Amino acid sequence: MFIDNIEIKVKAGRGGNGAVSFRREKYEPQGGPNGGDGGDGGDVILKVDKGLNTLSHLRYNNIYKAKDGKRGQEKGKTGKEGKDLILNVPPGTIVYDSTGKELIDLTEPESEFVIARGGQGGRGNARFKSSTRQAPKFAEEGQPGEEKNIRLELKLIADVGLVGFPNVGKSTIISKISAARPKIAGYHFTTITPNLGVVEYDQYSSYVVADVPGLIEGAHQGEGLGDEFLRHLERTKILAHVLDASGLEGRDPKDDFKKISNELRSFSKKLSRLPQIVVLNKVDLFNDRQEVAELMKYFQDGGYEVYPVSAITGEGIKVLKKELGRLINEYELPEETIDSKEDDMVVITPDFEDEEPELIVNKIRDKYYEVKGKLVERLVSRTDMSNDAAVRRMLHILRKEGLYEILADKNIPSGATVRVGGLEFDYIL
């Protein structure tokens, strides 16, 4: 099954908790702390696999999760890191976040992109020993891994795109010029699977051809899933209009060409600017080849290179293979599509005044307040709220960071309840 658009949720592994332990040696029954750090959680990684041309293998699950890191051990042993989760995607996969912002365009084989980073492991109690704290009875909890909703969109990467109405012979042509073996039948409705074929036209040269399912009028508006297929042509270098020159089924090749050109232009100006050639198929059905010559002249007068072929008999196929290779080698990216990354680069200078403060105190109701902010989020994610020593450490850090001064500035009355990370405290002046 061909799938080129899919939404999934990815979740990186949580970091393992730090350990609380003490040496238990023969002559040191209450030795110093030796709790080890927790292991980091695994990442979720997207990796390009050139053997794939669909996203269908990712449609079975809604959530993909990496492994969590393991808890730290005694004797200072660090917990095992969580295993990364690698999701293979085909070349040409574009990654979007939940807002629709493009994160990356994955085109190079074997390239990788970390879409969700694993949480850092918590520090064991051995890390908190100091001259004034000889036996810390707390450790940090591991941080949660990143969690994201993403959309993957595939745009096939090919050098040549074959376009045309259904049943004009595109599938047969790609089967003749490459090793691709698409399903071929004489039906009048469009197929639903693009086909890719590698064409070897010289001893050391090759190119990729995409047989895009037959287009119909209104394709740019979604008729016959046309808008889904047209975007696969945006990465091609050359478009080859495949026309049924014989008119056997009552179609006029000149009219077909105009309609397909209009669909391309209506969908994307970029498509209409790509180099285009005309392939007149089914010329074997003509008794009088003068009609073929007149058709060729019509399109040549319009500035197009024209190649008469018969996909069934093989007539003209070798010439078409070679000429497509030549055109690809001569291809130059149109000026309007060239990215001048250095010239167009926008450098954004952060406005620190707009950043969220480390500590925020919000009044929820009378004599009830909540402390939020980036610092609170970091501390809460790494504090075992069931451990009194760990909670006291969290409050000590908040006090050092100015929480009491902020509460005083807010004129919070003595006896009010202050909520921090799910725990409630009485505020006493």
Residue 191, annotated as binding a ligand? yes
Task: Tell whether residue 284 is among the known ligand binding residues.
Answer: yes
* 171 assigned to a ligand binding site: yes
Q: Copy the structure tokens of residue 368.
A: 């009830």
Residue 416 is assigned to a ligand binding site: no
- Is 166 annotated in a binding site? The answer is yes
User: Strand, coil or helix: what is 317?
Assistant: helix
Phi/psi of residue 417, nearest 5 degrees: -95, 130
56 is in an annotated binding site: no
Buried b / exposed e over 236-270, threshold 16 CB at 10 Å, is bbbbbbbbbbbbeeebebeebbebbbebbebbeee
Compute CA distances 62 → 57, 113, 152, 167, 258, whole Å. Answer: 12, 19, 13, 37, 43
Which helix (H) or strand (E) is 212 found in, with range?
none
Has 169 been labeled as part of a binding site?
yes
Please tell me whether residue 144 adopts helix, strand or coil conformation: coil
How many CB atoms sit inside 10 A of residue 83's CB? 15
Q: Does the annotation place 165 within a ligand binding site?
A: yes
Q: Is 262 annotated as a binding residue?
A: no
Residue whose C-alpha is closest to residue 268's, from 385, 161, 348, 169: 161
Give the count of beta carbons closer than 10 Å to the beta carbon of residue 25.
8
Known binder of ligand: residue 311?
yes
Alpha carbon distance 107, 208 (integer Å): 14
Give the DSSP per-residue string, 270-289. HHHHS-EEEEEE-GGG-S-T
49, 90 contact by CB (below 8 A): yes
193 is in an annotated binding site: yes
**Measured distance CA(365)–CA(343) in Å, rounded:** 53
Instruction: Answer yes or no: is 163 a known binding residue.
Output: no
Give the integer Cα–Cα distance in Å for 330 and 161: 16
Largest CA distance in the chain: 108
Nearest of 89, 118, 93 to residue 103 by alpha carbon? 93
Is 329 annotated as contributing to ligand binding?
A: no
Say if residue 318 carries a ligand binding annotation: no
* 114 appears as a binding residue in the annotation: no
Residue 68 marked as a ligand binder = no
Residue 22 labelled as part of a binding site: no
Q: Determine if residue 266 is labeled as part of a ligand binding site.
A: no
389 is in an annotated binding site: no
Residue 190 marked ligand-binding: yes
CA angle 426, 427, 429 (to 5 degrees): 140
352 annotated binding-site participant: no
Binding residues for Mg(2+): 171, 191
Which residues contribute to the annotated binding site for GTP? 164-171, 189-193, 211-214, 281-284, 310-312
Q: Which residues are annotated as a binding site?
A: 164-171, 189-193, 211-214, 281-284, 310-312
